[in-house]
Amino acid sequence: MKPVWIYLENGTFLEASSFGAETTLVGEIVFNTSMSGYQEIMSDPSYAGQFVTFTAPEIGNVGVNDEDMESKAAHAKGMIVRQYQDRYSNFRAEDSLANFLKKHNVMGISDIDTRYLTKMLRSEGAMMMVASTEIDDKEELKKVLETSPRIEEVNYIKEVSTKEAYVHKNGTYDAIGFKYNEAPEVQAKIVAIDFGVKRNILNELTQAGLEVEVVPNTFDADELITRVKNKEIDGVFLSNGPGDPLVLKEEQAQIKKLIAAKVPMFGICLGHQLLSISHGYDTYKLKFGHHGGNHPVKNIKSGMVEITAQNHNYNVPENITEIAEVTHTNLFDSTIEGLRYNDAPIFSVQHHPESSPGPKESRYIFGEFLSLLKQA
């Protein structure tokens, strides 16, 4: 392995080993507490612009395969691990993680104290960093970092959203993961706005009985409203995605039109945040965000605690209860995890009910979307 040098905006300078792309990249560093699913995490478009520090001590031992991709590419800037295992052992593996990262120009950083990094991020918050296999001078790396745009200044949605509309037809995988389950009979039709949607979200929507047409982030709200009125579609889904939702002014303007027309909608993660902003309640940035597959969320209606997958740095404000009912709360920090709006057929969740990777305790939410569409 070649050496790789890291400079964080708090002045921390580190040397580690490189097992991915050999380059120089700038991004935001966060930590993820999931113990499995590194390929799904790296191919999740919501991680665009970020370096992911894994708290799992060993990464790479199960290799990679095409079936576990959440999108067509790996979108994160890089992954940081304590120990990388190049020799993989899994009957589904098709290649090594290192080759996968090189193919997608993603950096792999190992032989570093990830416990130290995680504790630093927990205390000081997510921050910008630069990693390089080409530059070993601290001051030069500092200059690169200071002259590069921050993650909240970049609209990554333009990079990760589909460029052409398409219909998603696959349902969820069978229990072993060999093949797709047969999709049930279509009971409603929706348009899914792709801000960086994960494949398994689309799978769950289809498995719930929905025909899913996926369209780019440059959607026309007036066209969708007309299609709803003509009963060509029954509602709209707003997907997850990367970056700061406050910079997405064009998308907010279109969502406001959908809200005014009382179009039935369901949002996950970034979609949840955009619904809040479009109702007039701006999001705020969490200190280090929620990233992992083990976050307890309380379902207010049932009283049940669901273990959920999370991936977000931003959150909706508490005063949104002026116009919406809180349906779910995070038991780690009491932040809002779900909303149902008072005067419109609209609801949303901050966590990921498709949970790839993670537990499946919240997947019932996709069925609730179908119920909402039938009632609207």
Active-site amino acid positions: 269, 352, 354
The H-or-E segment that residue 144 falls in is helix 138-146
- Which pair of structure tokens corresponds to residue 35? 């113990």
Contact 42, 106 (CB under 8 A): yes
- Which pair of structure tokens corresponds to residue 192? 């899914």
Fill in the DSSP letter of residue 64: B
Q: How far, in Å, CA of 207 to CA of 68, rounded?
A: 17
- Which pair of structure tokens corresponds to residue 74? 């790996």
As to burial, measured by CB atoms within 10 angstroms (0-12 exposed, 13-18 middle, 19+ buried), residue 369 is: buried
Q: By C-alpha distance, which of 66, 57, 67 is closest to 36?
A: 57
Please state the three-class secondary structure of 108-141 as a single string: EEECCCHHHHHHHHHHHCCEEEEEECCCCCHHHH
| Number of neighbours of residue 142 by Cβ within 10 angstroms | 16
As to burial, measured by CB atoms within 10 angstroms (0-12 exposed, 13-18 middle, 19+ buried), residue 220 is: exposed
Q: Residues for the chain: how many in total?
A: 376
Fill in the DSSP letter of residue 352: B
255 half-sphere exposure, CB direction, 13 A CA radius: 28
Whether residue 359 is preceded by a cis peptide bond, meaning omega within 30 degrees of 0, is no
Q: How far, in Å, CA of 239 to CA of 193, rounded?
A: 6
- Cα–Cα distance list, 213 to 91, 121, 248, 373 (Å): 34, 39, 22, 15
Coil/strand/helix, residue 225: helix
| Number of neighbours of residue 126 by Cβ within 10 angstroms | 21
Coil/strand/helix, residue 294: strand
Fill in the DSSP letter of residue 163: S
